[in-house]
Structure 1
Amino acid sequence: MFERFTKAARDVVKGAAEHAERSGAEDVTAEHLLLALLDRDGTRAAGVLGRLCPAERRGALVAALADARRRAGLSRADSEALAELGIDVDAIVARVEETHGAGAFSARRRRSGRRPFSGEAKAVLEKSLRVALARKDREIGDEHLLLALTASGGVVAEALADHGVTFASVETAL
């Protein structure tokens, strides 16, 4: 599949691995793919992100990802579902952080060497192929990675949607 990736898409994958390494993450996640996309300039996805989520709003997007990481990766929908069962995620996070320090849920074991891709990140890469095929594109570009991130659900798609970046808005912009 990677032979079908454009240089821009390969650079995003490499950038995601670098983000994971810098943060000490055990594996490369969908969040790292998005952060690598946000780093890009002069590509189709960078142009779309620049229009839909301008630079002045990117800090809020990155903060939303950090907040979700602080909640152990639970999306707002997950938190709301737990709240309906009487479980207050924010209260649990506060108690854990009170005992173990700020960011206890997001603390990750540091390791050296190459990091594997999480199941979620692999699913995004596979979805990018399906998106490219559905669009009848011969190659997988960084725009297909962005479309796959918006369509994959979870915290990253939720954060993107909250900042005006949805599958439909990206397709329209492309």
Structure 2
Amino acid sequence: MFEKFTAGARDTVTGAVDEARRTGAARVTEDHLLLALLELGALDRLGVDRGATAAALAEARRRGGMSKADEEALAGLGIDLAEIVARVEESHGEGALAAAGARPQRGRPQSARVRFAPGTKKTLAQSLRIAVGHRERAITQTHLLLALLIAPGPVADVLAAQGVTYARVAATAPAAA
């Protein structure tokens, strides 16, 4: 499938792998894809604030990857997610609830192969379906971004907070990003 990616989309995937390695993550996640898109300037045309988006992703990881919908559901049961995070971090240190593989792995060589998380694999496959659905021959950065927006969760929440929606991205898509 990688041969169907444009240069920009390939750069995004390799950038996500590099980001995962840099942070010592065991797997490449959707967060890493979004961070790579940010680093490459793929969201600049949408007016996305790189720093605010990266900070919001870090905060979502700190909450154990809980989405806004998860937080609201817990609140409906009388559970305050912020209080849980604070108590866990008080006992176990900041970032203790970070998703598995999000924290640096001790003793992990920098050159070790980093695998793609199941959600990331789904995102890459979804980007192909989106390209085919638009009758396009190649997968672009825009297709990757649209695939990230489809999957509910912290990445889609962070993008929505920046005003990035599927409809807006599809309407402003460059030809071959």
Same fold per superposition (TM over 0.5): yes
Q: 8 Å contact 2:16–2:35 — kept in the other structure?
A: yes
- Identify the residue that residue 90 of structure 1 maps to in structure 2: 82
The gaps in structure 2 that reach 5 residues or longer are none
Per-residue deviation at 1:73? 0.3
Corresponding residue for 2:170?
A: 171
Match of 2:91 among 99, 102, 105: 99
1:71-150 aligned at under 5 Å gives the runs: 71-106=63-98, 108-110=103-105, 111-112=108-109, 113-150=112-149
Residue of structure 2 in register with 1:31 after alignment: 31
**Aligned residues: percent identity?**
55
Larger mean Cα displacement after TM superposition, 104-113 or 75-84: 104-113
Give the aligned length: 166
Give TM-score scaled by structure 2 length: 0.89
Whether contact under 8 Å (1:151, 1:167) holds in the other structure is yes
**TM-score of the two chains, using structure 1 as the length reference:** 0.91
Q: Is the 8 A contact 1:128 1:140 kept in 2?
A: yes
Q: Which amino acid aligns with 1:83?
A: A
- Aligned match of 2:20: 20
How far residue 156 of structure 1 moved from its aligned partner, in angstroms, is 0.4
- 5+ long unaligned stretches in structure 1: none
SS at match of 2:65: coil
What do the CA deviations read for 1:73-100 (whole angstroms, capped 9, x no partner)? 0001101101111222111110110011
Q: Which has the higher helix share?
A: 1
